[in-house]
Amino acid sequence: MQFETKAIYEVFPEFRNLVKYLNEEIGELGAVEKVDDIFQIETDSFRIQYGFEDDVFDIQAIKVFQEGRGIGRGILTAIHQFCEENEYAVIASDVEDTARGFWEELGYQEGSVVGEFFKIA
């Protein structure tokens, strides 16, 4: 999959706050790319891919390159703040079995689709 580098603000101006929240929580900004309806933000510490449709923020992948520093929780804190402010639901697709506990600790519950978790309000 080839991503097209593009300012996220050009695609969805409201994502400016998401990038701001990520910068506040993680302390670094990286490249923001988009292909079709999938966004990707990548820094030296993490990569996140997500989609957005019908007021649902779909976390499709999170990869933290330096585990154990609270980066994953920081990313989700930023996403939750952004989604709460904009009244978006949050789901996480393709959650691996080894990550189930992490998502559950953050208030997610497994949905009817295997590997899909949703945030409990």
> What fold is seen in the domain 4-93?
Aminopeptidase (3.40.630)
What confidence score (pLDDT) does residue 59 get? 92
Taken in order 28, 33, 38, 42, the sign of the CA dihedral is negative
Q: How far is CA 40 from CA 37, 77, 79, in A?
A: 10, 17, 13
Instruction: Quote the tokens at residue 105.
Output: 């600790």
Domain ranges of the chain: 4-93
Report H helices in 12-50: 15-26
Quote the percentage of the chain above a pLDDT of 70: 75
Q: How many of the other CB atoms lie within 10 Å of CB of 2?
A: 5
What confidence score (pLDDT) does residue 27 get? 67
pTM: 0.77
Q: Which residues pair with 62 in a beta bridge?
A: 48
Summarised one tens digit per residue, pLDDT across range 47-102 is 889 988 888 999 999 988 887 888 888 888 888 888 888 888 999 988 888 888 88
Q: Higher confidence at residue 33 or residue 76?
A: 76
Quote the percentage of the chain above a pLDDT of 90: 7
